[in-house]
Structure 1
Amino acid sequence: MRHEIISIIVPVYNAQDYLERCVNSIVNQTYDNLEIILIDDGAEDKSPEICDCYADADSRIQVIHKENGGLMSAWMTGVKKSSGEYLSFIDSDDWVEPEMMEEMIRAAFGCEGEIICGNFVIERTCGTTEHYHELSPGIYEGAELENKVKSRLLGNERRTISMSRCMKLFSRELILDNMQFCNTAIKMGEDVNIVLPALLDCKRVVILEGALHYHYFYNDASMVHKYDGKMYEGIRILTDTMKEILLAKKVLDWEVQWEKERLFLLLLAIKNELRGGMKGYAERVNQICKKEELKAIIDKYHIKPQDRVNQILVWVVKKPSDRRCKLGKLIFELFDKMTKCMK
């Protein structure tokens, strides 16, 4: 049996309805050399009391109560408190299979700078879907790590490795050494802040085959296509941070990866406007396209998406006229109605 300590960090905020399911899945892991850190991020429900009850019952669990500072602030607090050789992150409304930690630590080599990647299941009220990394299962080191992983992290329609901090096992120093890149102003895609620099610094990546250990709970009721008026600015902050990371890590082809990644992220801002935007949405789409020169990026890299949604968005972006914006909005409205009917 391996002896390394895995520190599992769980940010907790108003999660009383899901917290027991999450923590039970952790304490019942087949690998028991765990340090379980529950971060109460100023929760206003019964989550703090539930955390304390678990800590009283299991010596592996410690609870940190803090003022609300957001998800990133919570897990960063847990990282600073941790002492394990490896770190793993689980969100409080998610849960994991009992063999997750054992299978990941078995794939670890015990060296500094490695990341073990499992896969995940998205749990919706209407059913579940399995999700795998685009990168083939296997061990990536040396030249193969550089050529097949680090040079292809960004700029793909589907990322080769998921940028989620969850469903992974990190050598602790990879996280500690890169926390300076964590920008708490980012509210969308914030895991990129830590996962991207960690992947660029790592010496070994393992993609597990199968390994559908992590269950990501998608709350349809609270996440149904709501318009986010701050999405565009949030994406700009995120892409600026990506650029900072790529430059700091001296990535040779940083501009190619960054420009293509920026395009795919900004397509989300366009979709946000078409799907949920109200009065003036067409003008806002037009402004984003012109300001960010999206058509120039599409033409420069001959972007031809495979995903139907992205195909519609690229069609709008190439000529963001009122007519194309209205037709794009209508298509998304029809798609959402069909999806709702199917449920």
Structure 2
Amino acid sequence: MLENPKVSVIVPVYKAEAYLYRCVDSLLVQTFTNFEILLIDDGSPDRSGEICDEYARKDTRVRVFHKENGGVSSARQCGLDNAVGEYTIHADPDDWVEPDMLEELYIKAIESDADMLICDFFINAGNKQIYCNQEPTILNHERVMCELFQHLHGSCGNKLIKRACYNMYDVRFPEKISFCEDLYTNVSLLKNDIKIAYLSKAFYHYVQNINSNSIVKTYNIQDFEYCEMLLNKFSKLTCETSSFGLCVSKMSFLIVYRAFRANIFTSVEFKNKCGKYRKQMSEYKYQNRVIKCALDLSCLGYYKVVYLFFTIIQKMYGVFKAVNNMK
């Protein structure tokens, strides 16, 4: 274990044996050397825990924590509780990073005295790589909080955060939350007057559609109820902030969109379950108006017809763009 590392990289690990090597290897070859990696084995039933131990034996910068399965939030919090770095950042085990990520982020954070440093990132889906600009309109904590419910991504992988802020503002990853837990935690931090900085460069490769164990790959009635619970939890979190309306509209859109894509409801069921979110959902500024129209008609009771129509169009023109990982 390094003494006084400048950065702690937290990696929650669960059923990740097929991807973990790539992730950790990309961290170990960083041009910046004064950091630690915390691998949190969240009760993984595959060889992930063994792989974590292999890395710890080979490199003193790697620390491993084995725990009972409690979900990604508890794993992230376990890493945060045991981190000793001045700054923290998270990496998911099926993603990877550029070799100069920690060096450039740390230099910029120190130069700007930032509590939270935001940078751009890549989305990798199959052979395609998309560059995602994450520049806030204004480097103000309230404005950034609002924009996390608009065009900014709520993930932890593109944010270097001063560890002291978590303790100073009593912010913890929410228990029993395994989707949007990162958005919830970042919003919790941004409710406070923390100093924001931005670096116009991408380092983190966010992988879509390769990990079959991801929560976004399956959907059932419990997932619908989970999304409703998220709306309630986020509403309480933001109720006294300027982001409340934006929060409710985005989370309502997420509820309806995920239900639409799942195709597990009849038209009547969809109207009864999603119709109450129609007004709030319509206020969300999603760029694809065709999809918003489809969701609106579905909430009015035309779900099966609209879903069939858009399934055909999707195959012909590819109008759907996945937003399963909106955060």
- TM bucket (normalised to shorter chain) is 0.7 to 0.9
1: CA distance between counterparts of 2:254 and 2:290?
Answer: 10
Match in the other structure for 1:334: 312
Structure 1 window deviating more from structure 2 (219-228 vs 164-173): it is 219-228
2: CA distance between counterparts of 1:98 and 1:155?
Answer: 30
1: CA distance between counterparts of 2:44 and 2:249?
Answer: 36
How has the CA–CA distance of structure 1 residues 337 and 90 changed in structure 2, closer, same or farther, with 3 Å as cutoff? same
2: CA distance between counterparts of 1:180 and 1:57?
Answer: 33
The partner residue of 2:254 within 262, 265, 268 is 268
Match in the other structure for 1:307: 288
Q: Aligned letter for 2:34? A: N
The partner residue of 1:316 within 283, 292, 297 is 297
The CA deviation at 1:231 is 3.0
Question: Could you give the per-residue CA deviations for residues 113-170 of structure 1, whole angstroms, max 9, x where no partner exists?
Answer: 611112111111242222122525xx82xxxx156434x33553x3xx3211112100
Tell me the SS of whatever aligns to 1:69.
Answer: coil
1: CA distance between counterparts of 2:256 and 2:90?
Answer: 31
Match in the other structure for 2:163: 172
The question of whether the paired residues in 1 share the 8 Å contact of 2:252 and 2:281 is answered with: no
Match in the other structure for 2:271: 286
Structure 1 window deviating more from structure 2 (173-182 vs 79-88): it is 173-182
The question of whether the paired residues in 2 share the 8 Å contact of 1:117 and 1:208 is answered with: yes
Tell me the SS of whatever aligns to 1:101.
Answer: helix
The question of whether the paired residues in 2 share the 8 Å contact of 1:113 and 1:174 is answered with: no
Q: 1:153 and 2:153 equivalent?
A: no
Match in the other structure for 1:216: 206
Q: 1:25 and 2:26 equivalent?
A: yes
Tell me the SS of whatever aligns to 1:65.
Answer: strand
TM-score (norm 2): 0.84
Q: 1:228 and 2:220 equivalent?
A: yes
2: CA distance between counterparts of 1:205 and 1:326?
Answer: 45
The CA deviation at 1:290 is 4.0
How has the CA–CA distance of structure 1 residues 226 and 335 changed in structure 2, closer, same or farther, with 3 Å as cutoff? farther
The partner residue of 1:245 within 226, 230, 237 is 237
The CA deviation at 1:181 is 5.5
The CA deviation at 1:289 is 3.8
Match in the other structure for 2:74: 73
Give the length in aligned residue pairs.
313
How has the CA–CA distance of structure 1 residues 236 and 179 changed in structure 2, closer, same or farther, with 3 Å as cutoff? farther
The question of whether the paired residues in 2 share the 8 Å contact of 1:274 and 1:328 is answered with: no
Match in the other structure for 1:259: 245
Tell me the SS of whatever aligns to 2:110.
Answer: coil
2: CA distance between counterparts of 1:199 and 1:176?
Answer: 14
Gaps of 5+ in 1: none
Question: Residues 122-201 of structure 1: matches in 2 within 5 Å?
Answer: 122-133=123-134, 135-136=136-137, 140=139, 145=140, 148-150=143-145, 152-153=146-147, 155-156=149-150, 158=151, 161-177=152-168, 182-201=173-192
1: CA distance between counterparts of 2:199 and 2:156?
Answer: 16
Question: Could you give the per-residue CA deviations for residues 256-301 of structure 1, whole angstroms, max 9, x where no partner exists?
Answer: x3234323322233233333223x4322321234434x32x468x6
The question of whether the paired residues in 1 share the 8 Å contact of 2:19 and 2:94 is answered with: yes
2: CA distance between counterparts of 1:93 and 1:233?
Answer: 27
Q: Aligned letter for 2:257? A: K
% identity of equivalent residues = 30
1: CA distance between counterparts of 2:170 and 2:309?
Answer: 41
Gaps of 5+ in 2: 320-327
2: CA distance between counterparts of 1:98 and 1:41?
Answer: 26
1: CA distance between counterparts of 2:224 and 2:290?
Answer: 18
How has the CA–CA distance of structure 1 residues 202 and 264 changed in structure 2, closer, same or farther, with 3 Å as cutoff? same
TM-score (norm 1): 0.81
